Amino acid sequence: MKKHNFSAGPSILPQEVLKQASEAVIDFNGLGLSLVEISHRSKDFIAVMDNAQALVKELLEVPEGYSVLFLQGGASTEFLMAPYNLLTEGGKAAYVDTGAWSSKAIKEAKNFGETIVVASSKDKGYSYIPKGYDIPNDVDYIHFTSNNTIFGTQLKEFPGGNALKVVDMSSDIFSRKIDVSQFDVIYAGAQKNMGPSGTTLVIVKDAIFGTSGRTIPSMLDYAVHAKAGSMFNTPPVFPVYVSMLTLEWLKEKGGIDAIEKINNEKAALLYNEIDSNPSFVGFAAKEDRSNMNVTFTLADESKKEKFDALAAEAGISGINGHRSVGGYRASIYNAMPIESIQVLVNAMQEVNK
């Protein structure tokens, strides 16, 4: 049976990428050696790293003056790298609290200095994106989480202001057009739209290097990694390679403009069913709904057994909501075909019969 993988992450990847990656594990570039056993200093892997970085710059139209890094430790390490590199001694950091991941980032920042929450949607269970708040002029930076996987909300636009801007785009990077020049640091774990878990993409403005006045451990210093071309230590070879393949796939599909159009169509198909089907209720405020993580629940819990059976029969996998929210969550990242979403819609319609 064909499986339709709606997992929030690690998430679905294009089949052609998985096939090519599996072949490289056995024999990479006709070397007679596996990708995972060649030197990361070899010309073959250096070419992979160079190509991956170049694809990021091309697809996201990264302007001059930014470094593209492939690091380790996931977004969770970036929660502390951002304040280490941007928060000055005696300075202040501002955060917008829109869910579990921003809350974790706030917790880490508090270890480095004064950290204020300028807006939060916690009062309504993180079901919306706060708006109309002021960003103080005296903060070193403001931090956003662009998409909230657990609660299914997404920032559609980012406030202006003079503060440096840091954004966690782990779950919607490469899914929509963004203006990189708006931000000073963008970071994203690979395991949603880019590759398998194990590497983290960081796009950092070179002008911020060395501005915190802190003594930063080498492994947590953006400047060190930029100078070394993401090769300060042994990089995560396989995740970087698969990320490169996924970015090549995205380029062949027409790039960000093309995938954003497809993502809008996929999200509209599923949200239209949620809104028109009396058996289901959406979780997030309509104007703040995520195009990556669609959260919903049953209007009548007595239908849960029937819907779960219909989903299993259709080969639908990974739609259980996060334990903190319950209900259902369909993650529809770039590699998710619209045909799989139609299968889910069909199962939702069958609940009423």
Mean pLDDT by runs of 10 across the 353 residues of the chain is: 91 96 96 96 96 98 98 97 96 97 98 97 97 94 97 94 95 98 98 96 97 96 98 97 98 98 98 98 98 97 96 97 93 97 98 90
Terminal-to-terminal C-alpha distance of the chain? 24
Candidates 159, 168, 56; CA nearest to 109 is 168
Q: What's the confidence (pLDDT) of residue 67?
A: 98
Per-residue pLDDT at 162: 87
Select which of 97, 140, 168, 184 is catalytic. Answer: 168
Cα separation, 284 vs 52, in Å, equals 34
- Note the pLDDT of residue 1: 73
Pairing of strands 4-5, 316-317: parallel
* Distance of alpha carbon 67 from alpha carbon 57, whole angstroms: 9
Query: Would you tell me the crossing angle of helices 255-276 and 338-350 to the nearest 10 degrees?
Result: 0
Catalytic, 168? Answer: yes
Is the four-CA dihedral 247, 250, 252, 256 of positive or negative sign? negative
Query: What pLDDT shows up at residue 10?
Result: 93
Query: Does the annotation count 140 as an active-site position?
Result: no
- Strand locations in the chain, DSSP E? 4-5, 66-71, 92-97, 114-120, 141-145, 147-148, 153-154, 164-168, 185-189, 200-205, 280-282, 293-298, 316-317, 328-331
In contact, 191 and 10? CB cutoff 8 Å:
yes
Question: What pLDDT, on a 0 to 100 scale, did the predictor assign at position 219?
Answer: 97
Query: Is 101 labeled as catalytic in the residue annotation?
Result: yes
Which member of 140, 165, 192, 266 is catalytic?
192
The whole-angstrom separation of Cα 8 and Cα 33 is 33
Q: Which of 97, 101, 184, 221 is catalytic?
A: 101
- What gap in Å lies between CA 256 and CA 270, rounded to an integer? 21
**Residues in CB range of 337: below 8 A, 6 or more apart:** none
Could you give all domains of the chain from N- to C-terminal order, each with its CATH number?
17-252 (3.40.640.10), 255-350 (3.90.1150.10)
Ranges assigned E (strand) in 240-315: 280-282, 293-298
